[in-house]
Amino acid sequence: MPQSLVIETAVLPVKPAETLVIYAAEGAAPGGAGADLFAASGIDWARVSGASRFSGKPGEILGFPAPNGVPAERALIVLGAGKTTEAAGLSTFTDRGGSLMAKLGRAATVGIVLDGPELTPAAVAEMVAGLRLRHYRFDRYKTPKGDDSSEPSTLTLTLYVNDKPAVDKAIADRMTVVEGQLLARELINEPANVLGPVEFATRIEALRDLGVEVEILEPEQMQALGMNALLAVAQGSARPARLGIMRWQGGKPDEAPLAFIGKGVCFDTGGYSIKTAAGMEDMKGDMGGAAAVTGLLRGLAARKAPVNVVGVVGLVENMIDATAFRPGDIIKAMSGTFIEINNTDAEGRLVLADALWYVQQRFKPRLMVNLATLTGAIIVALGHDYAGLFSNDDELAAKLYAAGLATGEKLWRMPLGPAYDKLIDSRFADIKQTGGRPGGAIVAAQFLQRFVKDTPWAHLDIAGTAFGAPGTETNAGWASGFGVTLLDRLVRDNYEK
């Protein structure tokens, strides 16, 4: 059975626990109540820190068997907190929580002293977010091996803080977003035989319990709307497409919503422009954009965000059979644009083309942000540390960039321009999907922009950050849930009243 995690807060003095954790800033001895506890241990800080070359850098650890005089049964841990600076932001505390979770081993009860002056309620809430995110594991398909009692069934963490009511409030608020991010991870991690378009839509419908209005469009309805680009991607699969529409009405009834649109390709073979076998199993995560939008709506609803938001996800599977679309086909999108297909593996932009147009026509949003694991080219350009940001609006781009810095879900703005736009002019239709290898991520964004009118819009290419990135302090798994925290911060800081 998966280990359950219990996180609670308390005020000093520290109660007995298996493991006790105190922090030391870089270049300094433990402070506050941690200093008192360390003094009670009888250990000479200067001697042991010097001998071990412990400097207090983030994630650095110094552990001792439980000394006399300290309410710990197994171990006393000093964890490096690094240097706290205003420029570093709260996301440094998220990383602190994640690095601590990675060091706890098989402890069942842990006490953590968090009474330093920099540990505001918001900072402690970020640490709790890091603890919860790092604790997450996707192991539902792993059969338990015998009577494995090496790991306790429950891990209880008790945080000793200065202002318990304020900390509890901050944690409750932050955890709404964390649970949305974990939902996104869960969706991405599910295998494609379990989570196809219909099953994804069923998961979306569960958000009704939080007050989200959910509408699911089926192929016949999309056909009537003229969504031929989206439906073309799905036509080679035995599993029918769905369009998931989620509405959170937390603002004024007549206020135009913010719109978030996600690419939801539940599995992508590449179609007749078939992918290589190596790594194709990762294409179960090609719905990372849709997962992030779903997680965002969950978080906004759970915290009762005072804003109107619509989330739309195009859910398809790109497969090969006699009915699949082909290179050379010409398809009429919902906008009336004729698209020449020159690469069936450039399918995500077709899904988004119809979804973007639909959102503009129906909801008249204040802005649109779409997320998509759209191109391998963005990984070549930016690696796995930044997602690509493309936008037709400098103000929106600046707000997204700031939200990325604040949350650690970083973005880097990429160009758009007429020179790139010319690359997708077609000899046979209004537009073709791709323009060759040079600037592939930019050309994909130019394609999407053809389906955006005057609405402020941003495209986030999250192919390098949604899954498969190297492990971080807060994620030792495969899927990251990238985008949920970023977009929640965008909404919270700029559009809530």
Q: Which residues are catalytic?
A: 275, 349
User: How far apart, in whole angstroms, are the C-alpha atoms of residue 202 and residue 2?
Assistant: 24
Phi, psi torsion values for 218, nearest 5 degrees: -100, 170
Tell me the DSSP string of 390-441. EES-HHHHHHHHHHHHHHS--EEE----HHHHGGG--SSSSEES---STTHH
CA distance 116 to 315: 47
Q: What is the SS3 assignment for 125? A: helix
- Going 269 to 270 to 272 to 278, the CA torsion angle's sign is negative
Strand partners, 110: 19, 157
Q: Which of 169, 180, 170, 89 is nearest to 133 (CA)?
A: 180
Residue 342, both tokens: 């020159």
- Angle subtended at Cα 380 by Cα 376 and Cα 385, rounded to the nearest 5 degrees: 95
φ and ψ of 154, to 5 deg: -135, 135
- CA 467, CA 459: separation in Å to the nearest integer? 18
* Phi/psi of residue 200, nearest 5 degrees: -60, -45
Taking residue 141's Cβ as centre, other Cβ atoms within 10 Å add up to 9
**DSSP SS3 for 341:** coil
Torsion of CA 299, 301, 307, 312, to 10 degrees: 80
* CA distances in angstroms from 441 to 122, 264, 373, listed in the order given: 36, 18, 11
Q: How far is CA 451 from CA 338, 390, 469, in A?
A: 12, 14, 30
Tokens found for residue 305: 């965000």
